[in-house]
Chains A and B, each alone.
Chain A
Amino acid sequence: MDVIETLLPGVGRRYEFTTSDGHRLCVVSTRDDHYTVSTYDSDDPDVGRTLFRLDEDEAVTMAEILGAPRIAVKLADLSREVPGLASEQIEIAAGSRYEGKTLGDTQARTRTGSSVVALVRDDQVIASPLPAQDLESGDVLVVIGTSEGIAKIRTLLGAL
């Protein structure tokens, strides 16, 4: 998808794109981190009709809602582009040896060579989780590595 970015000197930036059903959407971000989302008129295609405005906090919340589920998908896309690199999502099963332990306890990186790049819990995504990150059953780990490495980490995490 093409996003057209235009500089608004002294004001901020404008981003435009067309959705698949033909709507042209426009986001103006001003320097004080306020955002205006508008769509273009069918009568006068040069006029942006404001749909809503977001302040800094609201914009962050909005981005989280829209962005979080996308991270895992993006990672999967990324691994597809690099030959030999695979990505997989592994769930911590109830009763797993690592339930209630930390990510560091798994020593996944040392033992398997694969990296845990994100942790999805319910609808929340923790990107680049730290070794101190606790693990609960139902957590989905997004791992990246060679297919061998991923097979190993699956065995490791699946161990009861």
Chain B
Amino acid sequence: MSVDWALAAAVAPGIADLLIEVGAVLFALGLLGGLARRYGLSPVPLYLLTGLALGEGSAVSLDASTGFLFVGAEIGLILLLLTLGLEFSADEFASVLRHHLPSGFVDLLLNATPGAVAGWLLLDSWTGALVMAGVTWVSSSGIVARVLRDLDRLSNRETPSVLAILVLEDIAMAVYLPLVAVLVAGGGIAQVVIAVSASVTAVLAVLVGSRHFGDRLSHRLAQAEDEQVLLRVFGITLVVAGLTTLLDASAAVGAFLVGLALTGQAAERSRALLSPLRDVFAAVFFVSFGLSIDPSTLPPVLLGAAVLAAVTLLTKVITGWYAAGREGAGPRGRMRAGLVLTARGEFAVVIAGLAVASGLDGAGPLTAAYVLILAVTSPVLARFADDVARPFMPKPAGA
């Protein structure tokens, strides 16, 4: 084996360093992720912390792997959005729109507003307000879905309303992300209108198209071998993501559209095949986001992030309370719905990452601190929802 290493090092200096660095980081993330799971927590905050620890001013430097981590993070973002798109079918979306639209509006109104105010006050710009509005608005579908399974709540009365809110938020991202991408890059009203209407058209076209042609596409893919399905879906996604980047929309939106376009069996197989790949690159994405933040910028924003976290924790609880109430759940169910929704995670980071990439640096530390607080506290709070709900219970008769 030592011969191979020597050869590699001789052929391409830096390759050995890169392999060792990337390998060590991924291995460390694997250990940390295991630790997080043992305590029923999301690994996302630990990935962010790892990135922060390895960033500026740390003892270990990741010089050799910077290029790889940059590209890997972009692929991670694309895969996160692709697998998100794969989760939905047009039918599910239609059904959610029919029954849960009011919950979606309450969610937007209550949770985007505090973020917008904080962004305006702390980042001092309209784009900052828009970015932070997205950060506080969108719950982490990854964390919430996981907590619902872990706590065995899938058959609970309040659960469909919780999942519906996640669906509405995620679909709204198809409009919100290009909006942010254009505005943060300094685009005017005309460009915003074009970008948003183009992506709305694309989403509708894909949803309608997949309803009509999805079966045929699905059938085609179902006949191919695993390896081919993986390569085709991954390849197409990268091409579409690249094209949407050329059009100045976010690569994330293109990937999301590909995910939406695949339905039924094709979606199911792609989900199964791409999830491991997504897990690797999404971890790289979160670490890279941490790396892009100078740890010394964190302490000044900590108080602001904590206040924002407290306020938006409350507003999410009210959102869940309202949404579960529409399903006829009792006080405890409504509190469970509210608390499980409070988790913010991958999407907040995606939005802030977009902002940081376009030069809105202030959004990075604020979001990182905010996500670190809520991604850790929220799953814990969700576990104790029934105790939190106790004061809201009607007094038993005769007490």
Determine the distance from Cα of A50 to Cα of B92 in the docked complex, in whole angstroms. Answer: 25
Closest approach, in angstroms, between the C-beta of A154 and any C-beta of chain B? Answer: 45
Whether a CB of chain B sits under 8 angstroms from the CB of A10 is: yes
Most B-side CB within 10 Å, residue of A8, A26, A36: A8
Contact B156 A8 (CB under 8 A): no
Q: What's the nearest-Cβ distance from chain B to residue A50, in Å?
A: 6
Known A31-B268, A44-B330, A46-B330; contact A7-B95, beta-carbon cutoff 8 A: yes
Q: Quick one: which of B141, B160, B333 contacts A47, CB cutoff 8 A?
A: B333
Which residue of chain A has the shortest Cβ distance to B332 in the bound complex? A44
B194 at the interface (CB under 8 A from A): no
Q: Are B92 and A28 in contact (CB under 8 A)?
A: no
Task: Determine which of A44, A45, A46, A48 lies in contact with B154 in the assembled complex, contact meaning CB atoms within 8 Å.
Answer: A48
Q: Is A9 an interface residue (CB 8 A)?
A: yes
Given contacts A14-B155, A28-B155, A50-B152, contact A8 B329 (CB under 8 A): no
Cα–Cα, bound, A9→B158 (Å):
13
CB of B330 within 8 A of CB of A9, answer no
- Report the interface size for chain A: residues with CB under 8 A from the other chain: 19
A57 to chain B, nearest CB (A): 18
Instruction: Using CB atoms, name the residue of chain B closest to A6.
Output: B160
A46 and B268 within 8 A (CB): no
Q: Is A126 interfacial (CB-CB < 8 Å)?
A: no
**A11: interface (CB < 8 Å):** yes
Q: Which residues of B contact A50 (CB under 8 A)?
A: 152, 155
Chain B stretch 80-102: residues in CB contact (< 8 A) with chain A: 87-88, 92-93, 95-96
With a cutoff of 8 Å between Cβ atoms, the chain A residues found around residue B148 in the complex are 11
Alpha-carbon distance between A145 and B159 when the two chains are bound, in angstroms? 48
Decide yes or no whether B164 CB sits under 8 A from chain A. yes
Instruction: Provide the residues of chain B in CB contact with A31, threshold 8 Å.
Output: 268
Is B88 within 8 A of A10, CB to CB? yes
Q: Is B160 touching A14 in the complex (CB atoms < 8 A)?
A: yes
A46 to B336 Cα, complex, angstroms: 10
Q: B145: CB under 8 A from chain A?
A: yes
Q: Which residues of B contact A28 (CB under 8 A)?
A: 154-155
Nearest-CB residue, chain B, relative to A26? B155
The answer on a CB contact under 8 Å between A10 and B166 is yes
Q: A9-B92, A44-B330 are in contact. Are A38 and B155 (CB under 8 A)?
A: yes
Q: Does any Cβ of A come within 8 Å of B49's Cβ?
A: no
Contact check, B268 vs A8: say whether CB atoms are below 8 A apart. no
Please measure, in the bound complex, the distance between the C-alpha atom of A48 and the C-alpha atom of B92, giving whole angstroms: 23
- If A9-B92, A44-B330 touch, does A14 touch B87 (CB 8 Å cutoff)? no
Is the pair B160, A7 in contact by a Cβ cutoff of 8 Å? yes
Interchain CB contact under 8 A, A44 and B163 = no
- B167 close to chain A: CB less than 8 A: yes
Q: Do B92 and A7 touch (CB < 8 A)? A: yes
Residues of A within 8 Å of B92, CB to CB, are 7, 9-10
Residues of B within 8 A of A (CB): 87-88, 92-93, 95-96, 141, 145, 148, 152-160, 163-164, 166-167, 268, 329-330, 332-333, 386
20 pairs, A vs B, C-beta closer than 8 Å: A7-B95, A7-B96, A8-B159, A9-B95, A9-B163, A9-B164, A10-B87, A10-B88, A10-B141, A11-B145, A14-B154, A44-B333, A45-B157, A46-B156, A46-B157, A46-B158, A46-B330, A47-B332, A47-B333, A48-B153
The 4 tightest CB contacts between A and B, nearest first, are A48-B155, A46-B333, A46-B157, A10-B87
Residues of A within 8 A of B (CB): 6-11, 14, 26, 28, 30-31, 36, 38, 44-48, 50
Q: Besides the contacts A8-B154, A10-B88, A26-B155, what 7 more A-B pairs have beta carbons closer than 8 Å?
A: A7-B95, A10-B166, A11-B148, A46-B156, A46-B333, A47-B153, A48-B152
